[in-house]
Structure 1
Amino acid sequence: MKLKFLSSRKSDFKPEPNSILPFHPLETSLDVNLAEIKRCIGESADVVFRSLSNPSSYSPAMNFIYIDGLVNTDLVAQAIIQPLTGHPGIKDNQPEEALLLIKEQILSVGGIQECKTVESLLGMLFEGNTIILLDGAKVALAANTSFWEKRSVNEPTSQGVIRGPKEGFTESLRTCTSMLRRRLKTPDLRIEQYKIGRRTRTGIALVYLQGIASEQVIAEIRKRLGAIDTDSILESNYIEELIQDGGLTPFPTIMSTERPDAMAGGILEGQVGIIIDGTPFALLAPATFFSFFQSSEDYYQRFDISSFLRLIRYSAFFVSMLLPALYIAITTFHQEMLPTTLLISLAAQREGIPFPAFIEALLMELTFDVLREAGVRMPRAIGPAVSIVGALVLGQAAVQAGLVSAAMVIVVSFTAISNFVIPSMSISNSIRLIRFLMMLIAGVMGLFGIMSFLMVLLIHLAGLQSFGVPYLSPVAPMNPGYLKDIFIRAPLRNMKMRPDTYVGREAARQNLPPAEPPRSGSGSQSEGRGREKP
């Protein structure tokens, strides 16, 4: 059964009826409503039912429902239960009028909303609201009393910088959006909120700058989010896999980051942010191949240093992908390419090695991946020590035992170090997979196979898109005016235009000199949606 996409694009969440439950409007009888609510949620120990009734007066019976652990119990007692206890305005009015009086005059908490169905009531209850039910009224009130334990703002673990902000996103959606608001103090910042997941009802925030982000890209992201039909969203990778382009490709078409400054920078360039409740990793789309080699720190230090480091990253990318394959191809098929001295040294090292170069490299690569995974899964106190000692002991023992050559240990180690130079973990993981294919092809076809595979890979990259944006832009299709922040970083005063592939109407980010009027008879036309050339 096709289920409806639950969305809300206002400042506060307004959950729609939960599609898992049948539609059931609230009744005038308080007992009937309570029985239906208890039937839906079962005998849950954390759901608190608190009733207020006074048999000696004409006050209607009232019931409060909240989930212990999701609400501030002190706020419930002081701002809701205490003001409503014995209030004369409740017994002097009809139930519907009494609820209106409670909503507009008596309660001092913010974010009071009405619930007309059991499904919407349960949705607000699970968001940390306190539900107020009044006997004789077919409408319930949901008061915002949400409060739960959450992790404090800490330094990002996967994207550290030497110079720059030291705070990262947390698992709280509202904390993440507030960190963006603090950096982008503009009314053009738009935050659209959704609920995705039939059971988890995970909060999703779509963040962009009106006028800077492309309307076509925003519409495409909304369409893909609206097409998601799943019962659970537990982390941002769920959203990434469900909306990404490319199909069967090892290359990511959506960026992930846990740095608020990186997301703010992407939004200022015209990208659209997707923040998911419950994870510190947010998404940025669209993404190009070259954006994965850019770091936040590139813009926090001088342009010459940033350009040098960026060139090192591109070099590390090719080293990580090609070095083991080149070693296999040259030592197996193309020994004449090596200097005689080096060839003799490698031949002496490989004397007595029982495996061909491909099997030797494959064993070393798999061993290193096992050590890396072991270092991640082990307790934090001993993980790094065990991985380092294990690599040293195993490498030295393997060389002494004659299983692998010393040159192969050097090649695999330098390849692994180069893989860590790339700032994006998603693109570095893609390289790990491609590296094994390159090694296999090099062991079968030599340099000819490597060059053929690189051509196929380049054709594949040229055919990819990210929400309608070419994956290799602005290199393919070539736009020389926008290459100032691709392979190197030009001085900030020279980067007056935003990336042409991301933005909508406002392409300029710095004041530009007025354009000269076209000369008569020159036939000059405006360039690229009426923009000046950067």
Structure 2
Amino acid sequence: MNEISRKIEVNEAYLREQFSDCSDVVIRSFQLKDETKLLLVYIDGMTRLQSIEDNVLKPLIFSGLPQGMDRIQSLAGMFSQEWIPLTDVKTDCTLENLVQHILQGSLAILVDDAATALIAQVQGYETRGIQEPKKEATLRGSKEGFVENIRTNTTLIRRRIVHSRLKMESFTVGTYTQTEVVVTYLKELADEKVLAEIRDKLSSIKLEGVLDSAYLEECLENNSFSIFSQIQNTERPDIVAASLLEGKITLLTNGTPFALILPVTLWSGLQSADDYFERFIFVFLTRIIRYILTFVSFTLPAIYVALSTFHPEMVPSSLMIGIATARENSPFPTVIEVFLMMFIFDGLQEAGVHLPNQLGPVVSIIGALVIGQAAVEAGIISTPIIIVISLTGVAAYTIPRYSATLPFRFIRYLLLFITGWLGFVGFAFGIIFLLIHLVTLESFGTPFLSPLAPFDAKRFKDVIVRYPYRFKNAQNKKGRQT
């Protein structure tokens, strides 16, 4: 690395070369009363200009060198003592590090005849304020959500876990973006093996840029080709705090409001934050309904095709006659009808997601009503298909996390095709292969179906039944003592 020269002209030439064609980089030179040359370098828009003027420029230009208990004879002496009226100040001796500090929004101060530079933390760029999470809204609970500023996010966690065992390790990822990633965990609760694995993977990531936590998600997963994500993402600080108390590890990425939680299981994506804010008796009923409807969301179309096409004897005669009558004028086989309606329904859903907030729900609802009604009246689609796809869509909406619905949407199409080919035999093969994949899948050493497979009675209490907090805490204390 290039060391900072004692000649300020050499340092200025290097910095001007590095920041050539950068109109937002300010390089200003000054001369004090004693004719000492001074160089200030910062990025306009990323620093607090008022702080620079009040704490650096005015004191040095008008008042001269600061004097304390020991008289400071030169700016070099001031630099060696890191004296400047700002809270976070440090020195650096290499030009490469100096450039990185400037790009991160710091103020660099260089002086003639000094081989070090003073780095002042005066970042002051605009950030979004704390708002209610839109993707994970709750009826009862905190209305605070993460923002793009990583320091704001770490503060939101510190406010909830006030303990010195809460650790936050910083990493830099991305060749060009130099994105800060903070690994957060509770010491003595988090698994040290998982921590070591995360540190190694973060240190070995070779990406040109990291603009979102999703970039890290694929690099950290044990099985990137699985349709199930082995890392949970959330924008709620209370969910992160609860996960840390359970011994999990979270990753905060600068520039994104979504934190990553690991390790996770299949049940993590099916649990809502409201499950922990309502009475446990009601939560038990809600979870039972949610799990049943989750199964319905990816199996109902395939089951309908199998019953109506391959196994009509399993359906009551009166119901089967009604279905056959409704399909009398339909020009397509049942499996094609179901596929078309599923495709249209998913297309309307995607359109509703990407349209502006005012138009999205209108297009989704009106589009589904108009297209469905027109298709039935034209004889293209039969009425039972509309009912099946509508129930499937409603069942999918009971899954609290959008990212958790994506694997089940993919499985829905796979089961439909294999069932349309082999009937219930194909449906059974599809479910068996799905269970085999889930049983063999792991998230940082944690089986994806745990505590169901392998069965763990102590941890199973928070899968279907949420125990009262006093019993849960008592059990945790007992487990730690043993």
Report the alpha carbon displacement of residue 100 of structure 1 after superposing the two structures with TM.
Answer: 2.3
Q: In the alignment, is the contact (CA less than 8 A) between 2:302 and 2:412 conserved in 1?
A: yes
1:473 matched to 2:456? no
Partner of 2:381: 404
Partner of 2:470: 493
Partner of 1:61: 37
1:100 matched to 2:80? yes
Scaled by the length of structure 1, the TM-score of the pair is 0.87
Cα shift readout 1:393-444 (whole Å, capped 9, x = no counterpart): 0010011111111111111111111111111222211111111001001100
Q: In the alignment, is the contact (CA less than 8 A) between 2:42 and 2:108 conserved in 1?
A: yes
The alpha-carbon distance between structure 1 residues 136 and 86, as it changes in their structure 2 partners (threshold 3 A), is farther
Report the alpha carbon displacement of residue 58 of structure 1 after superposing the two structures with TM.
Answer: 3.5
Cα shift readout 1:75-122 (whole Å, capped 9, x = no counterpart): 111011111214443897355323225x23xx2111112121221111
Partner of 1:267: 244
| Runs ≥4 residues deviating over 4 A | none
1:354 matched to 2:331? yes
Task: Supply the AA of the counterpart residue of 1:201.
Answer: Q
The root-mean-square deviation of aligned C-alpha atoms, in Å, is 1.6
1:121 corresponds, among 74, 91, 98, to: 98
Give 3-state SS (helix, strand or coil) of 1:316's partner. Answer: helix
Cα shift readout 1:178-226 (whole Å, capped 9, x = no counterpart): 0000000011100111110010011111000011111111111111111
Scaled by the length of structure 2, the TM-score of the pair is 0.96
Distance in 1 (alpha carbons) for counterparts of 2:51 and 2:78: 21
Give 3-state SS (helix, strand or coil) of 2:473's partner. Answer: coil
Task: Supply the AA of the counterpart residue of 1:69.
Answer: G
Task: Supply the AA of the counterpart residue of 1:254.
Answer: I
1:337 corresponds, among 309, 314, 318, to: 314
1:307 matched to 2:284? yes
Deviates more, 1:301-310 or 1:82-91: 82-91
Partner of 1:153: 130
Partner of 1:449: 426
1:290 matched to 2:256? no
Give 3-state SS (helix, strand or coil) of 2:41's partner. Answer: strand
Q: In the alignment, is the contact (CA less than 8 A) between 2:218 and 2:224 conserved in 1?
A: no
Cα shift readout 1:345-376 (whole Å, capped 9, x = no counterpart): 10011111111111111111111111111112
1:279 matched to 2:259? no
Distance in 1 (alpha carbons) for counterparts of 2:449 and 2:463: 11
The alpha-carbon distance between structure 1 residues 475 and 92, as it changes in their structure 2 partners (threshold 3 A), is closer
Distance in 2 (alpha carbons) for counterparts of 1:71 and 1:372: 42
Runs of 5+ consecutive residues of structure 1 not aligned to the other structure: 1-22, 498-507, 513-527
Partner of 2:142: 165
Partner of 2:8: 30
Q: In the alignment, is the contact (CA less than 8 A) between 1:245 and 1:466 conserved in 2?
A: yes
1:84 matched to 2:60? yes
Cα shift readout 1:309-335 (whole Å, capped 9, x = no counterpart): 111111121011100110111111011
Partner of 1:13: none
Runs of 5+ consecutive residues of structure 2 not aligned to the other structure: none
Task: Supply the AA of the counterpart residue of 1:34.
Answer: E
Q: Normalized per residue, which structure has more helix?
A: 2
Alignment of 1:176-191 (within 5 A): 176-191=153-168
Partner of 2:194: 217
The alpha-carbon distance between structure 1 residues 487 and 147, as it changes in their structure 2 partners (threshold 3 A), is same
Deviates more, 1:257-266 or 1:415-424: 415-424
Q: In the alignment, is the contact (CA less than 8 A) between 1:311 and 1:488 conserved in 2?
A: no
Distance in 2 (alpha carbons) for counterparts of 1:59 and 1:208: 52
Partner of 1:16: none
Deviates more, 1:307-316 or 1:196-205: 307-316
Report the alpha carbon displacement of residue 25 of structure 1 after superposing the two structures with TM.
Answer: 2.0
The alpha-carbon distance between structure 1 residues 418 and 531, as it changes in their structure 2 partners (threshold 3 A), is farther
Distance in 1 (alpha carbons) for counterparts of 2:242 and 2:72: 57
Deviates more, 1:91-100 or 1:134-143: 91-100
Distance in 1 (alpha carbons) for counterparts of 2:114 and 2:235: 46
Report the alpha carbon displacement of residue 386 of structure 1 after superposing the two structures with TM.
Answer: 1.6
Give 3-state SS (helix, strand or coil) of 2:251's partner. Answer: strand
Distance in 1 (alpha carbons) for counterparts of 2:121 and 2:324: 74
Report the alpha carbon displacement of residue 481 of structure 1 after superposing the two structures with TM.
Answer: 2.5
Distance in 2 (alpha carbons) for counterparts of 1:160 and 1:426: 15
Distance in 2 (alpha carbons) for counterparts of 1:144 and 1:247: 38
Give 3-state SS (helix, strand or coil) of 1:199's partner. Answer: coil
Report the alpha carbon displacement of residue 34 of structure 1 after superposing the two structures with TM.
Answer: 1.2
Partner of 1:206: 183
